[in-house]
Chains A and B, each alone.
Chain A
């Protein structure tokens, strides 16, 4: 309403140099306003805010009540609460034992060493180099899936995935495969339910994003607008959010010199354009490295950002085409809380639109796959080979983790996941999961089975076929 755009000041600056994956423990929230604690509704809530109900999450929501459960999900404990066996698997990974700087430097040295080798020898070494990059990326993928499968803090994992998708990087570009695990662990996950400005800042200082969108090569006089453009179009304001080509260029100039050195963020003052700049009609007052903090603060606190981000959250959690009134309410909560993601989500969870929408979203391949395994495993920890099968199945269904080539991230709407080939593959996955179970799965799904589905199930010739049909049912596709 013609209101002056007020930045949120120093918050972005404070976190610009944060390095550790530690999340700051924040004050717990009071229970959300939620009257209905019926079993049926709790199942639907778990089905929407988590990667699908399992025995542990059901027990938790039953004992806490829905409102307190959601409050706890919004402010998870700083320490991970994974089952010991799963935590041990993650701890044994190379990406847990060695720092990204260490790994990236070693791989860079291996690249350097290729120069002295014969053609044949270099070919072998290049192959080994590529294999190592792929192995590290697969560790990151396995870690992500293990957390989605077993973390009691489901919303934390859900939001980590959401932001990884919002700030999407493509692992097959350059050496992003060695960077992507660290990107998720240190830039995204700690802020997944924190402040949007902190998240934006952490992303802008991570090598994975700087390499993926070519900002690592953006320097004074040789401008690369790639990241600057996506930062406004896809990450903050949205394509019609009120910027123009001149703003893209100005932001690209702000971003000059923000680069990467062997797996680490590095600002190169000599590559930075120190000239005066105006972004979105406002002069940038600071100079050098601090310009970015000022620009990001301006973007994070812009009203367009509050609406763009709220709308995307609502698309993921409510409906492919969320009601404008809901988006506006969330955007207000976003602005009032200076971009507190948890409080924005709370406004959404407490809305009648959210309640009314439960069960009505179509699962993308990731949510389908993970919820099917959570349901079928019934709390049991699956072996690493099965996690690898999941990684492959996701690629087969067209949604490989960190595998979106374009910076727009995977779509959140059903039409993109319902191509004939994708559905046929999904039923193959249903068979893969269903046939590994010895007994018959429970027919109590969050979305109650229709008569048609029940009639079809009654034709199953054995428990395995029953499982296949149940996991292939329209009800199981819904969240």
Chain B
């Protein structure tokens, strides 16, 4: 049932050469994981425009054939992404992996998000103290990791390796960000009190992070403080993220909510289109804001599951299974839809309702990490235990 030649080259997992017991990850490499929480409707973003079945079962929310942005003979992008993602695609800086996701079948946001963030084998007991980004940070050793969230996400859980800086975290969304009130003299005094304590390192890292944020975003924050209206939502956040990831942080995580479109999802325009436009604008801003560092940057956009292929009785979609992941980056061999695929029809739906998962996310991400950081089999196995990396050769 495979309909095209796939860009699937099994990753050469040569035995670890003793000379490379520790990878020396290129410090210039940057990786950002964007988590769309809520399960975005992948079928209305990467649109299977050649599928009559798509148009048949989405009478109210399908994006019309004459409105889509065609990528190839089968796939097209939602028109709300014309200025953003489509532009990146045309530059070869974007690729899509349909039928991607985890084999978690709970169709529960919480379960599936946890599964994804922890990145552990399914079936066993899950350990909430170890997320895959945390394990990646540990495998990279010298990484400077940051979560652009208030709480440390599950994905970043895990011990800080000896000698490494702890994972930093700060929410950069409009309302949450205020200039630090503790001034630099006071920071120094506080650090002094912790000089001999176990907390000495995170305390000074916390102030250093605040300082980077102030330095990189200071003028913008002052401006934003004066007039409450500022650049909108995710675009503003993404600009701030770019500034920090252009600087010292090379491993990042951010989440974006608002994708749980059970009711009134809309098609060419409407709820999802509005959200997509904002997300796309943000990702463009990020690419642009990274400047020359964009060449060394890879962004992967994921979501906990896809949605039902058929629209429901409320002109929306319900929790489904397979999703579409996005890979963006300045040096990407993009402009391709990659990974294992099947023709979109009723017969190929999973449980007669959803996209199947043909590209397991851990295999996919392991393949990406191998390319980005040159991690070897043993190191990848620390990030994703018992996983065979899948190389979609995008880098």
Contacts and interface: CB of A to CB of B under 8 A. Distances in A.
Interface string B145-165: 001001110100001000000
B110 A405 contact: yes
B128 interface: yes
A170 B199 CA distance: 30
Contact of B182 (A408, A427, A456): A427
Interface string A172-186: 010000000000000
B186 A418 contact: no
Interface string A199-226: 0000000000000001000000000001
Interface in A413-440: 415-416, 418-424, 427-428, 430-432, 435
A465 B186 contact: yes
Interface in A80-137: 119, 122-123
A351 interface: no
B180 A406 contact: no
B186 A398 contact: no
Contacts of A421: 147, 150, 152, 168-170, 206, 209
Contact of A406 (B114, B181, B205): B114
A4 interface: no
A453 B197 CA distance: 12
B203 interface: yes
Contact of A239 (B125, B196, B206): B125
Contact of A420 (B125, B168, B187): B168
Interface in B214-252: none
A435 B186 CA distance: 13
B108 A226 contact: yes
Contacts of B205: 420
B264 interface: yes
Contacts, number: 106
A469 interface: yes
Contacts of A477: 199
Interface in A372-421: 395-398, 405-406, 408, 415-416, 418-421
A415 B201 CA distance: 13
B193 A453 contact: yes
Contact of B192 (A416, A452, A465): A452
A452 B196 contact: yes
Contacts of B347: none
Interface string B169-200: 11000001000111000110110111111010
Contacts of B196: 452
A469 B190 contact: yes
Contacts of A319: none
Interface string B237-277: 00000000000000000000000000110000000000000
A468 to B, nearest CB: 6
A472 interface: yes
Contacts of B110: 170, 173, 405-406
A459 interface: yes
A473 interface: yes
Nearest to A461: B185
A424 B181 contact: no
B330 interface: no
A469 B195 CA distance: 14
A472 to B, nearest CB: 5
Contacts of A398: 150-152, 169
Contacts of B207: 424
B151 to A, nearest CB: 4
B180 A419 contact: no
Given A419-B169, A473-B193, A428 B264 contact: no
A465 B159 CA distance: 34
Interface residues of B, number: 43
Given A406-B110, A419-B152, A456-B189, A474 B206 contact: no
Contact of A423 (B108, B189, B202): B202
A406 B111 CA distance: 9
Contact of B181 (A119, A408, A431): A431
Given A122-B264, A420-B209, A432-B181, A472 B168 contact: no
Given A469-B193, A474-B197, A420 B181 contact: no
A120 to B, nearest CB: 10
Nearest to A432: B181
Contact of A452 (B113, B166, B195): B195
Contacts of A396: 150, 176
B209 to A, nearest CB: 6
Given A395-B150, A468-B182, A422 B169 contact: yes
Nearest to A421: B169
Interface in A220-259: 226, 239
B366 interface: no
Contact of A424 (B113, B189, B206, B264): B206
B167 interface: yes
B353 interface: no
Contacts of B180: 424, 428
Contact of A474 (B128, B186, B199): B199
Given A396-B176, A398-B150, A427-B182, A420 B169 contact: yes
B82 interface: no
A422 B186 CA distance: 17
B193 A472 contact: yes
A424 B176 contact: no
Interface of B: 108, 110-111, 113-114, 125, 128, 147, 150-152, 154, 159, 166-170, 176, 180-182, 186-187, 189-190, 192-197, 199, 202-203, 205-210, 263-264
17 contacts: A122-B263, A405-B113, A406-B128, A419-B169, A420-B167, A420-B168, A420-B206, A421-B170, A422-B152, A423-B203, A424-B170, A424-B207, A424-B210, A428-B180, A435-B181, A452-B192, A474-B193
Given A421-B152, A424-B170, 17 more contacts: A119-B264, A122-B263, A239-B125, A398-B151, A398-B152, A406-B128, A418-B202, A419-B169, A419-B202, A421-B169, A421-B206, A422-B206, A423-B206, A427-B182, A427-B187, A452-B192, A456-B190
